[in-house]
Amino acid sequence: MKNKHFTKEDAKRIGESLGIDWSRFDIEQFRMGLDVELEHGRRELLTNVTNDDEIITGKIALAHLNEFPDYYTRLQKMENKANEEGSSDNISI
């Protein structure tokens, strides 16, 4: 699942299994969140806490959307700005 990406249909299915009220959350934000939160899965063995489980990944995404309904758009803007400014090297353990 190294380059896994979730579809809108995946997001809808996962979100409905979590009981997400789509009148409160944008399905595209949730889909983006599922993709982003795979960083907590098998992609990074040292920090793997979800093992790419889509329900656990969905819960992480939902937790962030509860903070800010546009969390993943904000995150993308912040990461783009950091890349433009030249971020420091990533640290590996």
Whether 16 and 54 have beta carbons less than 8 Å apart is answered as: no
* Whole-angstrom distance, CA of residue 65 vs CA of residue 28: 11
pLDDT tens per residue across span 35-87: 999 999 999 899 999 999 999 999 999 999 999 999 999 999 999 999 988 85
What residue spans define the domains of the chain?
8-85
User: Does an H or E element contain 25, and which?
Assistant: none
Q: Taking the model in full, what pTM does it have?
A: 0.84
* Whole-angstrom distance, CA of residue 71 vs CA of residue 63: 10
* Whole-angstrom distance, CA of residue 64 vs CA of residue 59: 9
* Whole-angstrom distance, CA of residue 63 vs CA of residue 69: 10
Residue with the two structure tokens 């992480």? 60
